[in-house]
A and B are shown apart, each in its own frame.
Chain A
Amino acid sequence: MDFSEFAGTVATSIDDFTTYLSAHFGLVFDSISTVILGIQQPLATLMTSAPALLIITTVMVGGVLLGRLSLAILSGCGLAFIFVMNLWAPAMVTLSLVLTAAVVALAIGIPIGILIAESKRLNAVAEPILDFMQTMPPFVLLVPAVFFFGVGTVPGIVATIFFAMPLPIRLTAHGLKMVEPEMVEAGEAFGASRLAVLFLIKLPLAFRSIMAGVNQCVMMSLSMVIIASMIGAGGLGDEIIRSISRLQVGRGVEAGLAVVVLAILIDRITRRISEKVDPTA
C-alpha cells in the first residue's frame, strides 16, 4: 500500500497551520526574536571583540575568587587551547548562544517549577507536557523551530530553550517538594505566610536541587547549541559541520575538543558557584 498521498495531506495541513500562525501571530514571533537577539547579539559582540587575553584573565581571576586555584589553572589552559586552535571567535559565539538560551530557559523554568511545586492542579497539567518535552529527541526540536523562525540564530536558541527547560523545571519542583514538612510546619507555626514560607524556607532549602537544574540547563544548552548549527545557529557547531562535509577529520577533532573544553569549564564553574553561595552549607 502507498500512504504517500496521505502523508502528503498531513504535511500540507501542518504547513497551512504554521502559515496561519505566522500570518496571524507574526507579532508574537517577532517579539520573541527581538528579545532573544537583544540578549545574544550584544553578548556575542562583546565576547568576540574583547581581547582573548582579557577574557582568559577574567575567568582565571574568577576561579581564584571562587576559592579554587585548580579551577583557575584549568580554565586558563582550556581557554588558551581554544585560542591556540584558532577557534576563539566561534567558541565565543557558542558561549553567547549558550548563555542566552540558558538564561531564558532558567528565567522561565524556575518560576514554572515553583508554581508546579505549589499547586497540585498545575502539576497535573505540567507533568505530561514535561514528559513530552523530555522524550523529544533534540534533533526533532529543530523542525518546529525552523517552521516558526526560519533558519539562523533565533530558531537555534528557541530550540535550545525548549530542550534545556524541562530539567530545571523538574529539579526546582523536586527540590521544593522534598523540603521536610517539619521545616514548613515550623515556619507556619510561627505565623509565616505562604510567600514567607516559600522565600525564607523552601527556596533556600531547595537551593541545591535548583542549582543542579541550573547546571544541567547550561550543559544541555551547550549540546543543543552545537546541534542547532544544522539550522544556522553558528559558533563551534559550524566548524564541526563544515569539517565533516569537507572530510577534514583533524579540524573536526579540534573543534570537537573545543566543545569538550567549554563543557568542562561551564560544568565546573557553575558547580563551584553553587557550592560557594549555597545557603544550607
Chain B
Amino acid sequence: MSTRKPAIEIKALYKIYGGNPKVKLDRLRSGACGPDKGSGFVALNNINMTIETGKIFVVMGLSGSGKSTLLRCINRLIDPTAGQIVVNGQDVTIAGKKELRQIRSSMIGMVFQHFALLPHMSVIDNVAFGLRVAGVGRKERRERAGKALELVGLSGWDNRKPSNLSGGMRQRVGLARALVMDTPVLLMDEPFSALDPLIREEMQQELLRLQSTLNKTIVFVTHDPNEAAMIGDRIAILLKGEVVQEGQPIDIVLSPASDYVRDFVRGIDVFKVLSAGQVMDAVCPPMELANKPISEWTKHLSKDFVKLAPDDLIAPYLDELAKEQRALIVVQNDGTPVGTVTPKSVLRALAAHSSLSGSTPKMEKPKAADTTRANAAAERATQ
C-alpha cells in the first residue's frame, strides 16, 4: 500500500432525510433554495474531504450536526443521497450488496458509541463475529479473536458475557472486534463518550498506543474538543451538515474560522496542542546566526540551552521557561535552528487563541487583598 495515497476521499457528499431527496438535492445544488427551506432534512450538505492513510481524522461538531451520518455513509450503513466516497481506491457508493459486505469485512471496521456488543454472545464470540459471518473456520477465528483481545488487554475474559464487563472493558471488546478484522480503515463513532472521564482518558491513550503500531486510517467522531485535540492528526468541524473548518488541531485552535468554531475550541486546553514551532520567535536569533548550524549558535549563547523539535509540545517546558535559566531553541530535523521560545512569544501565541483578545480591558488597580498576596509572593521569591 502506498502511504501517500489518501485512504478515504469524499466528494460532494449529500444526505437528505425525508421529503423528496432528489428534488431537494437539485434545488440545493442549483442554489434555488437553502438547506432549511421546504421538506426534507439536509443532514450532509456538500461534504468534501481527503483523509490520509495512517492518520487519525477527527470529525467534531455539536449533536445533530451530522457526524454519525457522515461516518455511516463511509461504510454505507446509511446510503448517501448523492456524492462519491472512495476508500482505498474503491468507490463504496456504487458497490452492490455482496461487494459491500466484502468491503465492510475486509476494509472498514467500526466501533460504536454504546459499544453495541451482542448481549447473547460471549466476549470472544462478539470479537469473532465479523470473522464468523465472513466464513472463517471456528478454530482460526477463536485464535485471531484471542489475539485481538490480548492486544486490548482483555485476555482471559473470553467466555464472559458483555454484561459482566465495565464500560471501559466493553469498549475494549468493541475495539477488539474491529481490530480482529485487520481492516486498514477504522470508523469510530464517539467511542469514548459513554465512559467516565478517567476511563475515557485511559482509552484515548490506549488508542494512541495501538495506533502507533497499527497505523490505521481512523475516522474518529467526537463532540469533545479536548479529545479531538488530543488524538486528532486533523480535525474537521461540522455545523448543520457542512464542514466549517478543517485542519491541524493547532490551526483550528489558534485561528478558528468562525464564532461557532471559536466556541468549540475555547474548551480545549491549548497546551495540549501548542507546539514549539508555533510559539517560537523566528526573528529573535541575531541575523548573523541565521541558517548556521546549532554548534555555531550555541557558542554565542550566554546560558545553557534546551533543544526542541518544531513538533514538540511546549507544555512540558513551561517550567523551564518561567525559570529563564536556559534558552529554548527550536531546531529542525536537519539541525538548523529556526527560532527560540521566550515567555513573550508564548504569550503572543496565547493571545491569538484567547477569546477575549482584541478588547483590552481597562487598567485597574489591584484590590487590596490582591496586593498583599502579590507582595507576599514577591517576598517569598526574594528569600
**Chain A interface (Cβ < 8 Å from any Cβ of B):** 180, 182-183, 185-193, 196, 200-201, 204-205, 207, 279-280
Picked from B114, B119, B120, B129, the residue with its CB within 8 Å of the CB of A190 is B129
- Stretch from B52-60, B97-105, B212-220, B257-265 that touches the partner: B97-105
Bound CA–CA A112/B230 (angstroms): 51
8 Å CB interface, B71-102 against A: 72, 75, 77, 101-102
Bound CA–CA A195/B169 (angstroms): 29
B114→A182 contact, CB < 8 A: yes
B120→A182 contact, CB < 8 A: no
Give how many A-B residue pairs fall within 8 Å (CB-CB). 64
Nearest residue, chain B, Cβ from A196: B133
Do A193 and B119 form a contact, CB below 8 Å, given A182-B114, A185-B77, A188-B77? Answer: no
B118→A183 contact, CB < 8 A: yes
- B59: shortest Cβ distance to chain A, in Å? 17
**Chain B interface (Cβ < 8 Å from any Cβ of A):** 72, 75, 77, 101-102, 104-105, 108-110, 112, 114, 116-120, 129-130, 132-134, 177, 181, 187
Nearest residue, chain A, Cβ from B117: A186
Nearest residue, chain A, Cβ from B72: A185
Bound CA–CA A257/B120 (angstroms): 40
- A278: shortest Cβ distance to chain B, in Å? 9
B120→A189 contact, CB < 8 A: no
Bound CA–CA A183/B114 (angstroms): 10
A190→B104 contact, CB < 8 A: yes
A191→B104 contact, CB < 8 A: yes
Query: Which residues of the other chain, B, contact A207 by a CB distance below 8 angstroms?
Result: 120
Nearest residue, chain B, Cβ from A185: B77
Bound CA–CA A201/B116 (angstroms): 11
- B238: shortest Cβ distance to chain A, in Å? 20
A186→B105 contact, CB < 8 A: no
B120→A205 contact, CB < 8 A: yes
Query: Which residues of the other chain, A, contact B130 by a CB distance below 8 angstroms?
Result: 190-191
Query: Which residues of the other chain, B, contact A279 by a CB distance below 8 angstroms?
Result: 120
Query: Which residues of the other chain, B, contact A190 by a CB distance below 8 angstroms?
Result: 104-105, 109-110, 129-130, 133, 177, 181
Query: Which residues of the other chain, A, contact B110 by a CB distance below 8 angstroms?
Result: 186, 189-190
A192→B120 contact, CB < 8 A: no
- A185: shortest Cβ distance to chain B, in Å? 5
Bound CA–CA A272/B133 (angstroms): 32
Bound CA–CA A180/B119 (angstroms): 11
Picked from B118, B120, B134, B187, the residue with its CB within 8 Å of the CB of A191 is B134
Bound CA–CA A191/B102 (angstroms): 7
Query: Which residues of the other chain, B, contact A193 by a CB distance below 8 angstroms?
Result: 101, 133
Do A189 and B101 form a contact, CB below 8 Å, given A182-B114, A280-B120? Answer: no
- B187: shortest Cβ distance to chain A, in Å? 8
- The 6 A-B residue pairs whose C-beta atoms are closest, nearest first, are A191-B105, A190-B130, A186-B116, A279-B120, A189-B110, A191-B104
Query: Which residues of the other chain, B, contact A196 by a CB distance below 8 angstroms?
Result: 133
Query: Which residues of the other chain, A, contact B102 by a CB distance below 8 angstroms?
Result: 191
Nearest residue, chain B, Cβ from A205: B120
Query: Which residues of the other chain, B, contact A205 by a CB distance below 8 angstroms?
Result: 118-120
Query: Which residues of the other chain, A, contact B129 by a CB distance below 8 angstroms?
Result: 186-187, 190, 192, 200
Query: Which residues of the other chain, A, contact B116 by a CB distance below 8 angstroms?
Result: 180, 182-183, 185-186
Query: Which residues of the other chain, B, contact A188 by a CB distance below 8 angstroms?
Result: 77, 104
Do A189 and B119 form a contact, CB below 8 Å, given A182-B112, A196-B133, A200-B133? Answer: no
Bound CA–CA A119/B112 (angstroms): 27
B112→A185 contact, CB < 8 A: yes
Query: Which residues of the other chain, A, contact B104 by a CB distance below 8 angstroms?
Result: 188-191
Bound CA–CA A204/B77 (angstroms): 22
Query: Which residues of the other chain, A, contact B118 by a CB distance below 8 angstroms?
Result: 183, 186-187, 200-201, 204-205
A183, A188, A189, most chain B CB atoms within 10 A: A189
Bound CA–CA A277/B119 (angstroms): 14
Bound CA–CA A1/B18 (angstroms): 56
Query: Which residues of the other chain, B, contact A191 by a CB distance below 8 angstroms?
Result: 101-102, 104-105, 130, 133-134
Apart from the given pairs A188-B104, A190-B177, A205-B119, 11 other A-B contacts in the complex at a CB distance below 8 Å: A182-B114, A185-B112, A186-B112, A186-B116, A188-B77, A189-B109, A189-B110, A191-B101, A191-B104, A200-B129, A207-B120
23 A-B contacts (beta carbon < 8 Å): A183-B116, A185-B72, A185-B112, A186-B116, A186-B118, A186-B129, A187-B118, A187-B129, A187-B133, A188-B104, A190-B109, A190-B177, A191-B101, A191-B130, A193-B101, A196-B133, A200-B118, A200-B133, A204-B120, A205-B119, A205-B120, A279-B120, A280-B119
Bound CA–CA A191/B104 (angstroms): 5
Query: Which residues of the other chain, A, contact B114 by a CB distance below 8 angstroms?
Result: 182
Query: Which residues of the other chain, B, contact A201 by a CB distance below 8 angstroms?
Result: 118
Do A192 and B112 form a contact, CB below 8 Å, given A183-B118, A186-B118, A279-B120? Answer: no
- B251: shortest Cβ distance to chain A, in Å? 32
Query: Which residues of the other chain, A, contact B105 by a CB distance below 8 angstroms?
Result: 190-191
Nearest residue, chain B, Cβ from A279: B120
B75→A189 contact, CB < 8 A: yes
- A114: shortest Cβ distance to chain B, in Å? 17
Query: Which residues of the other chain, B, contact A186 by a CB distance below 8 angstroms?
Result: 110, 112, 116-118, 129
Nearest residue, chain A, Cβ from B75: A189
Bound CA–CA A193/B135 (angstroms): 12
Nearest residue, chain B, Cβ from A180: B116
Bound CA–CA A189/B181 (angstroms): 11
Bound CA–CA A123/B197 (angstroms): 45
